[in-house]
Amino acid sequence: MTERLGVRKTYKLFIGGAFPRSESGRSYEVSGVDGRFLANAAMASRKDARDAVVAARKAFGGWAKATAYNRGQVLYRVAEMLEGRRAQFAAELAGAGSTAPESEVDAAIDRWVWYAGWSDKVTAVLGAVNPVAGPYFDFSVPEPTGVVAVLAPQRSALLGLVSVVAPVIATGNTCVVVASTDRPLPAITLAEVLATSDLPGGVVNLLTGFGAEIAPWLASHADINALDLTGADPALSAELERTAAGTVKRVLPAPAGEPDWTADPGLRRLAAFLETKTVWHPLGV
């Protein structure tokens, strides 16, 4: 009896709810910590980045107008789907060098649930009814910023990725995510989870490749409203901040060193890409 050859997985981009190859036709080799070949990942181009921005902008209106309760339900559904593929994620994380892959998958699932719970509470916590001396009410209400470009952490291929993506979409934003260059496989598998959950196409768009090549185009793109530079090295982060100033983008700068992704995330990332709208309303007689 001949030995069966396994079906090798093809890793693609995730744009607008679909899985296209890079328009450039380029790919690069992804290796494990032991140097063993794991897969060929698509190398996104400038055109792929533009397509991702178009998809994110198209999806923003509907996602921002969805009720916070509905967004929470969708994020919880993502956690459900991720739970069902726990073994696959653990295997990919082990190949990427994770010392406790099962624990990281569990933490990533719990992080989705955590942000799902906050989606319909963040407005009450960050909003306000302001005191005024007149016959009117004054409300401050947080609203999503728009389309956010996210440079995912380079080392934490799943938990770190979830920790930067989930708060962006929980508050009604859409995003274009540049995955870890050396450890992109869990990110593409996460995209498959998102595609089979209830998340509308275009809310999350994921690019694999080299951040130094893709990110400058995102930083200068006029239809990107904000940047999360968590996964950028200091030199690239400084360059992107200067570029983003040309279109007055909101920027979350790269942290000094790798964050502890297992720590309580708090509200910082939920508040990072929210704008405050103040409404004046006459007081009834």
Tens digits of pLDDT across the chain (285 residues): 688 887 888 899 999 999 999 999 999 999 988 888 999 999 999 999 999 999 999 999 999 999 999 999 999 999 999 999 999 999 999 988 888 899 999 999 999 999 999 999 999 999 888 888 788 888 888 999 999 999 999 999 999 999 999 999 999 999 999 999 999 999 999 999 999 999 999 999 999 999 999 999 999 999 999 999 999 999 999 999 999 999 999 999 999 888 999 999 999 999 999 999 888 888 765
| Distance between CA atoms of residues 129 and 65, nearest Å | 22
Catalogue all structural domains in the chain, each as residue range(s) with its CATH number.
43-282 (3.40.605.10)
| Distance between CA atoms of residues 197 and 174, nearest Å | 16
Give the number of C-alpha atoms closer than 13 A to the C-alpha of residue 100, restricted to the C-beta side.
7
| Distance between CA atoms of residues 19 and 11, nearest Å | 9
Q: Model-level pTM?
A: 0.92
Q: Which two structure tokens, joined as six digits, stand for 51?
A: 């397509």
| Distance between CA atoms of residues 237 and 261, nearest Å | 20
